Amino acid sequence: MSQLRRFKATDLFSFNNVNLDVLTETYNISFYLQYLARWPDLFSVQTTAQGNVMGYVMGKAEGTGKNWHGHVTAITVGPEYRRLGLADGMMDLLEEVSEKTYDAWFVDLYVRVSNAVAIGMYRKFGYSVYRRVKNYYAGTIDEDGYDMRKPLKRDKKRETIRENGENVLVNPEDLDSWR
Amino acid sequence: MADRKLRPLYEAIDEGHSKEALQLANKILKKTPDFVLVKALKALALVRSGKEDEASDLCAQVKAAQPIDEPTLQAATMAYKEIGQHDQIVHLYEAAAKLQPNNEEFANHWFMAMVRGKDLKGQQQAALKLHKSFKNNKYLFWAIMSLALQGEAAKGTTPNLSYTLAERMMSKALEEGKVKQTEEIRLYLLILIGQGKRKEALVLLDSDIGQKCLLDPEVRQIYVELMTETNEWTRAFEVSRKVLSEQNSDDWISWKTYFDALFKQIAEDPESEQRKLEEAKALIESTKKSALEASIMKRGPFMAELELDLRLKQDSKIDGATMLEHIKAYFDRFGTKPCCFEDLQPYVNAVLDDTEEISSFINDIRSLVHLETEDTGVKIRNIQKDINVYKLEHYLNTSGSETEQDAVKKVTELWAAYNNALPLGKTLEKTERQYGDDYVVLASHILLKVYRETKDMAFILHALVLLEGALAKSVYNFQFKMLLIRLYLIIGSFDQAHRIFSTMDVKHIQFDTLTHYLTDGSMSLGQFDLLAETLSVACSIYKANEIETPEMIVKAYQYTTFSKIQEFIEFRSRLDQSIQHTLFNIDLARVEALQTSFAAKYGVQFFAELDPSVYPYDDDKLSKLSDNRDYGVMTDCTPKEVTSIEELSRPSKRTNPNWIKIQSLILRTMHNVCDSKCEGLEIASELKAAVTNEAVIKDVTEQDVFLGRFVADVVDGINYLKNAEASQQQKGIELLNSCNLSAFISSQKAMTDSTISWNYFHQTLAEVECVVYGSILSEVIKRTLSLGKKKKSDPAETTDAVSIGNEARAAKISV
Ligand SMILES: CC(C)(COP(=O)(O)OP(=O)(O)OC[C@H]1O[C@@H](n2cnc3c(N)ncnc32)[C@H](O)[C@@H]1OP(=O)(O)O)[C@@H](O)C(=O)NCCC(=O)NCCS
């Protein structure tokens, strides 16, 4: 149970319970505000009845033609609020807005190939691997990323996804320029 | 041709070779002294070499030339931005736009420059001009938004002409079919709601165009809010019922609306009570059923059941036993989730009052925990359940009757439970927490409480040992880290606290909201270099806000996201006015004062050069400070009416506006008395008033007050000395002689293992500050007297007056 609403700029003052978790990166002001300025309806937060931040999702809409899609930039839930279906609720909302407001073909996201929890979760939500991107996560230890997708209503023939995407290896520079 | 000539200059600037850029610019300007672009570039190079004044002069020349070419405008804009003269950018583009009325881009820049500079009226005019010349509706809405913001700023004044005009323009735009986007409707809504015209706002959303916006989830929320605010309960009831039964039964906002509407309807028509309640129970049952069948079980309907009970309980329409049964059932189902404890808080509070009831409830739920099982998965879930029992027990045990022995026993029990859970977490990722971590958090809370009652530092050390041990097993558990930081500060160890803090990767906005956990009151712990570095780094967020946030407000206009503009403005001003920024400034000044004052004359110089403007003290300014510090991060199982863990764990009182008042006044008084251009009188008497005002000093420590009094008294004495009247001078000398530090200093007991704590160091720092400030002030006295001596001399007095300085120096040595 939670209150799901749009993320507000001033939520940045109180999202620490979520952002202090190691797996959640804290970005500079512009990063968040730019998303809010451009895609205010794709940035949502779940709060407790008392208004404490439990988790949030930020996304955007991008691409051209049949590549026009919703993208999940970050999704995170605070440690004590996991396994309550919050990620599920936020993904639902993001998909709904991508479909109804933006008329997108699909929603996609990137995930570390080692993040089994998240991959399993996205599969449960109806996502499948579209391709594997070599060294998508560059850092001290490079890691490949899966590009996972879920088709929306507009994609009646389910053209934007494919089977066995795990075996389709691409380089980051080969990803479409809109990424 | 010009391009080729300028390339090296551009490159030098881009690569940060400001010196070289200056030489290149000068060379070009020698040949072509009126090359405006080069002047602008030179100005940029000048700012970047720290020569702001010269840069500013040059920019003024550029501006006077009224440039209309993009490169010059850009260079000058950049230079102005870096000098911090945003208003000049407005003039720059205003002139360009006037010279080239058909250039849309210039007019846009002009508008944006005003947005950055918060000139609402100006941006309104620019937007109207844009709309008139280029006919794009976007500009019309910019103008209306600018008006709405003026309306908001003038809230409370009647008539509010800006709002009236904004509304009129909006309704005209709607009639003319110019309003199409959801964000434009949002603009209309904020104008209406800003004026309290909720009925009109509801009508707008009921209209065809309003209905189209309901695709947006947030507009749907606003819609329902408007219904409840205008007492349209039947509608609110229907909408929320539909959402809950058809879309999302995990939505707390809808449940709250649903119950509000339900009871309003019952109040209006008492006959319907039975039927309505049956209906609500049926909704809960049916949503519960779907939740149980769903692939991911959500808590919504189950919590709704408790919420309905709670509301019935308020009218004594349900017996406690039934409610308790529901609570236990909820616990049995969701006790495996960490948040179960938080979920149940309001409901157990309402139904349990005496200790007997509480202990039988705890026994009941404890019997639902099954730790004796071989199945690891089941066991892990039951550990969480067990933790929730302990938390509820802790939460409900408000009597505080626990003895020290009971507490220690409980800690031992929790620590054992933690250790029993450890083997289950062997395969956990490094980034995850061990299953039993909260046992340790709770044990630390208990130890902290006992420490507060007994003042026995052994309990803090005990907690430190437990937490450090557990942190080694869950290296990223920030709950452990927050507690460790605080406990280390209590025992006076800033570097240990800092060590932990630095592993938390606090950055950007968190500099403003979280740094206080480490730095509040830590000046007393003496690690000045480490502290000053932490503070300076954290200050970067305020610069970032100055540079980044205005650009984002501009972006919101460009994307016509009207629903976010007020929010961004609020965000910007909360950082602008951050109380934490002032606290950083004060501590940085105090550190620097101590570090530069190894010889009194440098101290005098430091204070003379201090810029007093960043140390607010008047109540009006202080009340405008925004406290963005996040105090809600630490897990807390204490009930609301009891002192929170956040408070229990802080080494001293939370820094607050009255603390700022005293510290600011000390710094300002020192500045005034050290800077020969200033008259110290007024500020010193403000300081005196503050340190004798009960309402102020209740918020600070006695040491803070002592320092304030001491400075005020000495400065008072100095001011008498400056007087030409001999009798006044005599009075000054008497005053100075009565400023005695030795009693304060000798009040400090010797440091032993048991007295070593933040409190001890705080007293020590206060003594050091008194002594240092005292010696700076005695230097001022000397200078005052030697000036006076030239007029008329009396050597006997001189020695007397300077004795305070000597006393101070002697004390310094003894410290
Ligand atoms: C990944 C994350 C967002 C999941 O959030 P959540 O709110 O706990 O997820 P939900 O409760 O909606 O889970 C939905 C389903 O996903 C699966 N799932 C989620 N977390 C899981 C876990 N730790 N282990 C196994 N399955 C898991 C389950 O099937 C779950 O349904 P169930 O609880 O009924 O079994 C959260 O764990 C998190 O913030 N992790 C850190 C940040 C991160 O890794 N983000 C993803 C980057 S791509």
How do residues B473-507 score in pLDDT, each as one tens digit? 999 999 999 999 999 999 999 999 999 999 999 99
Q: What is the mean pLDDT of residues B131-136?
A: 95
Task: Collapse the DSSP code of B183 into the 3-class scheme (helix H, G, I; strand E, B; otherwise coil) and give the result.
Answer: helix
User: Is residue B398 scored above 70 in pLDDT?
Assistant: no
Which residue in this structure is represented by tokens 């570090």? B595
User: Is residue B784 scored above 90 in pLDDT?
Assistant: no
Alpha carbon distance B206, B189 (integer Å): 12
Q: Whole-model pTM above 0.90?
A: yes
Contacts made by residues B577-580, CB under 8 angstroms, sequence distance 24+: B577/B624, B577/B625, B577/B626, B578/B512, B578/B542, B578/B625, B578/B626, B578/B628, B579/B625, B579/B626, B579/B627, B579/B628, B579/B629, B579/B657, B579/B660, B580/B512, B580/B513, B580/B515, B580/B516, B580/B538, B580/B627, B580/B628, B580/B629
How do residues A10-23 score in pLDDT, each as one tens digit? 999 999 999 999 98
A85 alpha carbon to ligand 1 midpoint, in Å?
8
Question: Nearest 5°: phi and psi at A107?
Answer: -120, 140
- Spans of all domains in chain B: 2-197, 586-629+655-814
How do residues B41-56 score in pLDDT, each as one tens digit? 999 999 999 899 999 9
Query: What pLDDT sits at residue B87?
Result: 86
Query: What pLDDT sits at residue B210?
Result: 96
Query: Domain spanning A2-174 has what CATH number?
Result: 3.40.630.30
| Cα dihedral sign, B784-B785-B788-B790 | negative
Q: Is A37 close to B559, i.e. CB distance below 8 A? A: yes
> Which of the listed residues A25, A117, A148, A149 should we mutate to test ligand 1's pocket, taking the one with most ligand atoms within 8 A of CB?
A117
For residues A59 and A42, is the Cβ–Cβ distance under 8 A? yes
For residues A149 and A160, is the Cβ–Cβ distance under 8 A? yes
One-letter amino acid identity for B351? V
Q: What is the mean pLDDT of residues B338-355?
A: 92
Q: What is the mean pLDDT of residues A69-82?
A: 96
B646 alpha carbon to ligand 1 midpoint, in Å?
30
Alpha carbon distance B667, B608 (integer Å): 10
Query: What pLDDT sits at residue B1?
Result: 43
How do residues B64-99 score in pLDDT, each as one tens digit? 999 999 999 999 999 998 888 888 999 999 999 999
Angle at B169 between CA B167 and CA B173, to 5 degrees: 115
Alpha carbon distance B72, B63 (integer Å): 10
User: Is residue B745 scored above 90 in pLDDT?
Assistant: no
Give the max Cα distance, chain A: 46
One-letter amino acid identity for B194? G
CA distances from B467 to A121, B418, B428, B483 (A): 33, 11, 19, 8
User: Is residue B710 scored above 50 in pLDDT?
Assistant: yes
Q: Is B564 close to A9, i.e. CB distance below 8 A? A: yes
A139 part of contact set with chain B, CB < 8 Å:
no
Q: What is the mean pLDDT of residues B371-382?
A: 94
The residues pairing with A131 across neighbouring beta strands, listed in sequence order, are A147
Q: Which atom of ligand 1 is nearest to the CA of A77?
A: 39
Q: Which residues of B touch A1 (CB under 8 A)?
A: 250, 252, 255, 298-300, 303-304, 343
Chain B interface mutation, best of A10, A14, A20, highest count of B Cβ atoms under 10 Å: A20
Q: Min CA distance, A4 vs chain B (Å)?
A: 7
> Which of the listed residues A19, A26, A77, A149 should we mutate to test ligand 1's pocket, taking the one with most ligand atoms within 8 A of CB?
A77
Alpha carbon distance B83, B40 (integer Å): 13
Alpha carbon distance B689, B745 (integer Å): 24
Which pLDDT band, with edges at 50, 70 and 90, does B796 fall under?
Answer: very low
Which pLDDT band, with edges at 50, 70 and 90, does B752 fall under?
Answer: low
Alpha carbon distance A88, B296 (integer Å): 8
Q: Is B510 close to A16, i.e. CB distance below 8 A? A: yes
Query: What pLDDT sits at residue B4?
Result: 81
Which residue in this structure is represented by tokens 């045990």? B397
Alpha carbon distance A117, A111 (integer Å): 10
Query: Two tokens at B723?
Result: 């007087």
Chain A interface mutation, best of B339, B476, B551, highest count of A Cβ atoms under 10 Å: B339
A103 part of contact set with chain B, CB < 8 Å:
no
1.50.10.20, 1.10.10.10, 3.40.640.10, 1.25.40.1040: which CATH number matches B2-197?
Answer: 1.25.40.1040
Parallel/antiparallel/unpaired status of strands A69-77 and A106-112:
parallel
List the alpha helices (DSSP H) in B84-160. Answer: 86-99, 104-116, 120-134, 137-153
CB within 8 Å of chain B, chain A residues 27-46: 27-30, 33-34, 36-38, 40-41, 44
Q: In what order do the strands lie in the sheet with A169-170?
A: A3-6, A43-47, A53-62, A69-77, A106-112, A143-151, A128-137, A169-170
Q: Which residues of A touch B635 (CB under 8 A)?
A: 80
Q: What is the mean pLDDT of residues B159-175?
A: 97
For atom 26 of ligand 1, the residue with the nearest CA is: A117
For atom 17 of ligand 1, the residue with the nearest CA is: A121
For residues B442 and B390, is the Cβ–Cβ distance under 8 A? yes
Query: What pLDDT sits at residue B9?
Result: 94
Neighbouring C-alpha atoms within 13 Å toward the C-beta of B288: 14
Q: Is B548 close to A28, i.e. CB distance below 8 A? A: yes
Query: Two tokens at B183?
Result: 């964000």
Alpha carbon distance B377, B148 (integer Å): 57
A89 alpha carbon to ligand 1 midpoint, in Å?
11
Q: Min CA distance, B253 vs chain A (Å)?
A: 6
- Spans of all domains in chain A: 2-174
Exposed / middle / buried, residue A100 (Cβ in 10 Å: 0-12, 13-18, 19+): middle
Query: What pLDDT sits at residue B809?
Result: 45
Q: What is the mean pLDDT of residues B575-586?
A: 98
Q: Which residues of B touch A141 (CB under 8 A)?
A: none
Where b means 16+ CB within 10 Å and e means fewer, B333-348 reads: ebbbbbbbbbbbbebb
Q: How far apart are the first and last CA of chain B?
A: 71
Q: How far apart are the first and last CA of chain A?
A: 34
How do residues A78-137 score in pLDDT, each as one tens digit? 999 999 999 999 999 999 999 999 999 999 999 999 999 899 999 999 999 999 999 999
CA distances from B252 to A75, B249, B256, B263 (A): 21, 8, 6, 17
Query: Two tokens at B760?
Result: 């001890």
Which pLDDT band, with edges at 50, 70 and 90, does A50 fall under?
Answer: confident
A80 alpha carbon to ligand 1 midpoint, in Å?
12
How do residues B242-286 score in pLDDT, each as one tens digit? 999 999 999 999 999 999 999 999 999 999 999 999 999 999 999
Give the Cβ contact number of residue B455 at 10 Å: 12
